[in-house]
Amino acid sequence: MSEPVLLVDEPAKGVRRLRLNRPQARNALSMELRRALVEAITQASHDAQVRVVILAGNEQAFAAGADIKDMANASTVDMMGRGVLELWRATASCTKPVVAAVRGYALGGGCELALLSDLIIASDTARFGQPEIRIGIIPGGGGTQRLVAAIGKHRAMKYLLTGTTFTGREAFEMGLASEAVPDDQVEVRALAIASEIAALSPLAVQQLKDVVLRGMDLPLDAGQALETKALHLLFSTADQKEGMAAFIEKRAPRFTGQ
């Protein structure tokens, strides 16, 4: 039997790593891989033992885009029947923080998958881009929306309209990547930051992620109201009492997610 297209492991307490595993196709996002990713992310969202998710590829590619051979002869009806938008929405709805560890190519759907993440740890030499325009189509997984939100309209239009790529270091300098590090440090750093987050209160972490993502689509006053209500809600948790007691007592807190 061939290896599964998605490998799942837990490299540290509270951290689940999902590794795209189609090396022969530079981890191109086939429908099989997309569905496996949705299933794994959904499971992680509902597993109380999982506090952070890492998305990773291999040294050559995070994900080099959609599987072009699989769609070259598809019709409009064929594409509609695949329900790709719903798969993207399911991936985006992960309630746990998602850290993308990006090495090699992150193009097209691969770039969009990274953009869905909450943090991106990129190799200095990783290659990001939305090259769809070069094969007669446009991004279909949020690239026209999330890339603009991440780096601004005029800069994003340069990459969207020409299909040219940019490095992980450039992604960091533009504000798209959280950090840019040497290639051999990408997964080390991704695991370190994921473990740091996993040690915090999962209730506070999930509330923070929810407020940030929802607030992006709200007027400032509405977003601040949402933030305040989430803050007040956390004062009913044991983690809040533990966190403040530990601060006062000058010791490390022991968060239980209660």
* 230 carries an active-site annotation: no
Provide the Cα torsion 7, 8, 10, 16; round to 10°.
120
CA distances from 252 to 196, 199, 242, 244, 248 (A): 13, 10, 10, 10, 10
* 109 carries an active-site annotation: yes
Strand order in the sheet with 105-107: 61-63, 105-107, 127-129, 166-167
Strand order in the sheet with 179-181: 6-12, 15-20, 52-56, 98-102, 119-123, 179-181
Closest CA to 107 of 79, 80, 71, 135: 135
| Catalytic annotation, pick one of 36, 66, 190, 204 | 66
* 112 carries an active-site annotation: yes
| Catalytic annotation, pick one of 109, 129, 142, 168 | 109
| Catalytic annotation, pick one of 14, 36, 57, 112 | 112
Distance, in Å, from the CA atom of 141 to the CA atom of 58, rounded to the nearest integer, reads: 22
* 245 carries an active-site annotation: no
Closest CA to 21 of 13, 12, 30: 30
Q: Which two tokens stand for residue 62?
A: 């995070």
Distance, in Å, from the CA atom of 156 to the CA atom of 154, rounded to the nearest integer, reads: 5
| Catalytic annotation, pick one of 132, 141, 171, 198 | 132
Paired strand residues for 63 = 106
Q: Which residues are catalytic?
A: 66, 109, 112, 132
